[in-house]
Amino acid sequence: MEIEKITRSGYSSNLSKEQLWDIYKSMKTQRQLEERLLKLYKGGQLSGAVYPGIGQEASMAGIAAGMSEKDIFGGTHRDLGVQIKKGVTLKEIALNFFGKHDGPSKGRDGNSHFGVVDKGTLMVVSPLPDSAPVAVGWALASKLDNSGIVAVANCGEGATATGTWHESINMAGVSNLPIVFTVQNNQFAYSSPNETEFGTPNVADRGLGYGIPSKIIDGNDIYEVMNTIHEACEHARNGNGPTLVELVTFRHYGHAGHDPAEYVTKEVRDFWMKRDPISRFEHSLMDESLFTQEDFTKLTEELENEIKETLEWAKTQNDPKPENEILDIFAKRNTEVKQSDSSETKTMNLIEAITNGLDELLENDKDVFMMGEDIGEFEGAFKATKGLFAKYGPDRILDTAISEGAFTGAAVGAALAGKKPIIELQFYDFVYPALDQITTEAAKYYWKAGKSVPMVVRGPTGAGTRSGPFHSISPESMLAHHPGIKIVAPSNPYDAKGLLIAATYDPNPVMYLEHKKLYRKPDLKMDVPLGLYEVEIGKGAVVKEGTDFTIVTWSGMVSVAQEAAHALEADNISVEIIDLRTIVPLDEEIILKSVEKTSNLCILQEDVPFSSVASEVSSLVAEKGFWNLDNPILKITPPNTHIPFAPILEDAFIPNADKVVSAIKGLQ
């Protein structure tokens, strides 16, 4: 079979014999490793899955070869070639495929779902292309710091149909970020051919719509790949923004080890086998008299032995210990807690306290910046960023397009790069498009990759403003279901500022919930200290002491509990009110101690009842404080329905003091 030739030009012409050999070796290592892994998988000796990139080696090695050593790569499960070329070792790969403790993901994710951030590769996850927004965030951090780092976000052509890819490339184009988007078009998204994936003839045709240059190249020509990627990276490094590169290639096998790829016709396969990237590279190197067939044969034998020995070694290494899993949900903080001497205060409502906290954070820490929709000159839907754009400018107060997935994922990447991003959601109802990045990337990075993600996602929650079912959510129960994120919900201006500052300096992703009905509540003004101070995350507060009944609540329901407690005093019922302040981690001690004291518990929440925080608190007390209870646990919640718009319906939906009083008196 005649192999189509390739020749060196441009950037690749300047590579030394040693550099070319290193690139060739990485391609051969990938191919022989994946062939061996595929055999192990089909032989039942390997769990999980194998996603072979055999046939795409030039695309992967060429991408890595075109990048500089300090550049960052966000890829997919078929990018072992980039990982190898970026310095990830055979031992690291083997350990991960066998789910061992010392592998990059510590056995917490399998096979090729890993990255080694310290070597320049982002964590690989199953939903594709989820690493694209993260790469955008790293590029944003690079632009803010002028570090010269370029991010490369890679995926297959099938993933370009997702909103995640669109939002990412659109955000990068609008912000002129130093990033390159590469798409390995291997003809099939699993089994779907190109004509069923997109309406344009080529993926690269979309570049015009994003206002960025695009190119279509032969992904099986190692020289063209590295030349193009190098040019695109330098274009980005010099402040000229993103490039979209479509690498047309072909996978020799199916989507995964279990896929026989019967949908590929013989004609298509024959066409691409003549363009096998390794064979083309070998012929070119021999044509230049740089290496001989004997050199290639010798390397093949050496790699075969090394790969076999490494895989056999990996099998014998230590498995992860189940008892250690809970230890790595949250990164531990090792920075000094901010403490104000409280010598100077100012009377503020809740929204003013938040704005003041944001202002002081931005002023005192150059790594803090904000992203969100309309937070710049418009100063946010609720004016939480009032005056900040004028003071700090568009680099620190970044107005974004309507793209919650992109800018939330970008916060993950920026946090990994050393920044402290604060995201504003116009309404917390809009968190749903961002949940993929929050739960798939932010929540799992420390647990899976050992890298902390200090970021805050803040915004208005709650009902009572006649905003209807799409602007009134209380999302704490939904968010609390996902390990790896913290959730705070202040009920007063002092806590609002202190928790915001604590959230910003926490090394984990924190969801910061602001009840919009409290923003400008006339009777909720307080003297708030000027200067940075913190309210400890994970610690509740006794708002009112009592002896007969405990009410556990938070956020907008604290004032309802206070009103009910005042009314119950007329009947000589003494109520103790616990403001949780933090939903995750939950202050179990303050709840159990209060129930031990009062022997009665009422949980008051604005969120719907099913699978809620109230359910969790009930379970906690039933399990650890049951014998202290004199009566059944009360849960005062809305009905299990959506939040209605009509005033008469919304007022009936939200728990009020009368409902609390009636329920508690009913147990007396």
Question: What's the rounded Cα separation, in Å, for the pair 290 and 58?
Answer: 19
What's phi and psi for 5, nearest 5 deg?
A: -85, 155
Q: What are phi and psi of 548, to 5 degrees?
A: -105, -30
Give the separation between CA 576 and CA 595, rounded to whole angstroms.
9
Distance CA 146, CA 150 (A): 10
> Strands 575-579 and 541-544: what pairing?
antiparallel
Q: What is the mean pLDDT of residues 305-334?
A: 94
Whether the Cβ atoms of residue 504 and residue 454 lie closer than 8 Å to each other: yes
Q: What is the mean pLDDT of residues 371-394?
A: 97
pLDDT at site 1: 62
- Given phi > 0 = left and psi -120 to 50 = alpha, else beta, which region is 549? beta
Q: Give me the mean pLDDT over the 630-658 stretch.
A: 96
Rounded to 5 degrees, what angle do the CA atoms 339, 328, 335 make?
Answer: 20
Distance CA 486, CA 333 (A): 13
Confirm whether 534 is domain-assigned: no
Does residue 511 sit in the same domain as residue 551? no
- Whether the pLDDT of residue 196 is over 80: the answer is no
With a CB cutoff of 8 Å and minimum separation 6, the contacts of 126 are 77, 113
β pairing state of 601-604 and 397-399: unpaired
- Residue 596: partners with Cβ closer than 8 Å, 6 or more residues away: 625, 628
Q: Which one, of 514, 484, 482, 485, lies nearest residue 499 by Cα?
A: 514
Question: Does a structural domain hold residue 335?
Answer: no
Q: Determine the structural domain holding residue 491 and report its residue range.
A: 345-529
Let me know if residue 326 belongs to a domain.
no
465: pLDDT strictly greater than 80? yes
Residues 307 and 405 in one domain: no
What pLDDT was estimated at residue 379?
96
Q: Give the list of residues 6+ apart from residue 261 with CB closer than 8 angstroms, or none.
A: 188, 191, 251, 253, 254, 255
Q: Tens digit of pLDDT for each residue in 86-109?
A: 999 999 999 999 999 999 999 999
Residue 35: what pLDDT? 95
262 domain residue, yes or no: yes
DSSP symbols for 431-473: GGGGHIIIIIIITTIIIIIS----EEEEEEE-S-SS--TTS--
State how many domains the chain has.
3
Residues 447 and 482 in one domain: yes
Q: For residues 413-425, give the mean pLDDT.
A: 98
How far apart, in whole angstroms, are the C-alpha atoms of residue 630 and residue 502?
37
Tokens matching residue 567:
């009314």
Whether residues 604 and 518 share a domain: the answer is: no
Tokens of 323: 């008892």
Distance CA 160, CA 163 (A): 8
CB atoms within 10 A of CB 344: 10
253 and 390 in a single domain? The answer is no
- Per-residue pLDDT reduced to its tens digit, 550-572: 999 999 999 999 999 999 999 99
pLDDT, mean of residues 428-453: 96
What is the pLDDT averaged over residues 339-343? Answer: 82
Q: Do 358 and 499 belong to one domain? A: yes
Contact (Cβ atoms closer than 8 angstroms) between residue 201 and residue 264: no
pLDDT at 326 over 90: no
Cα separation, 339 vs 273, whole angstroms: 66
Can you tell me the distance from the alpha carbon of 54 to that of 84, in angstroms, rounded to the nearest whole number?
14
What residues pair up with 511 in beta bridges, in sequence order? 457, 487
Judging by beta carbons within 10 Å of its beta carbon (0-12, 13-18, 19+), is residue 353 exposed, middle or buried?
A: buried
Quick check: 495 pLDDT over 70?
A: yes
pLDDT (mean) for 162-176: 96
Q: How far apart are CA 181 and CA 245, in angstroms?
A: 6
Task: Confirm whether 321 is domain-assigned.
Answer: no
Position 262 scores a pLDDT of 84
- From the list 77, 235, 471, 482, the catalytic residue is 471
Place of tokens 């994922």: 409
The whole-chain average pLDDT of the chain stands at: 95
- Which residues make Cβ contacts (< 8 Å) with residue 364, sequence separation at least 6? 532
Cβ pair 87, 294 in contact under 8 A: no
Does one domain contain both 659 and 596?
Answer: yes
The domain that holds 617 is classified in CATH as 3.40.50.920
Helix (H/G/I), strand (E/B), else coil: 113:
coil
Cβ 426 vs Cβ 458: under 8 Å: no
* 243 and 106 co-located in one domain: yes
Is 253 a domain residue? yes
Sheet with 601-604: strands ordered across:
541-544, 575-579, 549-553, 601-604, 634-636
Strand pairing of 526-529 and 345-348? antiparallel
- What pLDDT band is residue 132 in, cutting at 50, 70 and 90? very high
- Among 482, 498, 529, residue at a domain's last position: 529
In the residue annotation, 471 being an active-site residue is answered as yes
pLDDT score recorded for residue 512: 98
**What's the pLDDT at 343?**
84
- Grouping H, G, I as helix, E, B as strand and the rest as coil, residue 104 is coil
323 occurs within a structural domain: no
Which of 42-51, 461-470, 487-496 shows the lowest mean pLDDT across its residues?
Answer: 42-51
* Angstrom distance (rounded) from CA 559 to CA 2: 80
* pLDDT tens for each residue of 234-286: 999 999 999 999 999 998 888 888 878 788 888 888 888 889 999 999 999 99
Among 529, 552, 586, identify where a domain stops: 529
Shared-domain flag, residues 525 and 563: no
Residue 25's Cβ-count burial label (10 Å; 0-12, 13-18, 19+) is middle
Q: Please report the pLDDT score of residue 516 as a whole number.
A: 97
**Quick one: CA dihedral 221, 225, 226, 231, positive or negative?**
positive
Query: For the segment 60-77, what is each residue's pLDDT rounded down to a tens digit?
Result: 999 999 999 999 999 999
Phi, psi (5° rounding) for residue 405? Answer: -65, -45
Burial of 646 (0-12, 13-18, 19+ CB in 10 A): exposed
CATH of the domain at 176: 3.40.50.970
**Nearest of 377, 360, 470 to residue 426 by alpha carbon:** 470
User: Which of 529, 557, 586 is the C-terminal boundary of a domain?
Assistant: 529
Instruction: Decide if pLDDT at 626 tops 80.
Output: yes
Structure tokens at 121: 């590769």
* Same domain, yes or no: 25 and 73: yes
Q: Are the beta carbons of 568 and 661 closer than 8 angstroms?
A: yes
Q: Give how far Cα 666 sits from Cα of 614, 658, 661, Å.
A: 19, 12, 8
In order, the DSSP letters of 307-362 are HHHHHHHHHTSPPPPGGGGGGGSSPPP-SPPP-----SEEEE-HHHHHHHHHHHHH
Instruction: Please indicate, yes or no, if residue 7 is contained in any of the structural domains.
Output: no
- Could you tell me if 94 and 30 lie in one domain? yes
Q: Are residues 422 and 358 in the same domain?
A: yes
In the chain, the percentage of residues whose pLDDT exceeds 70 is: 100
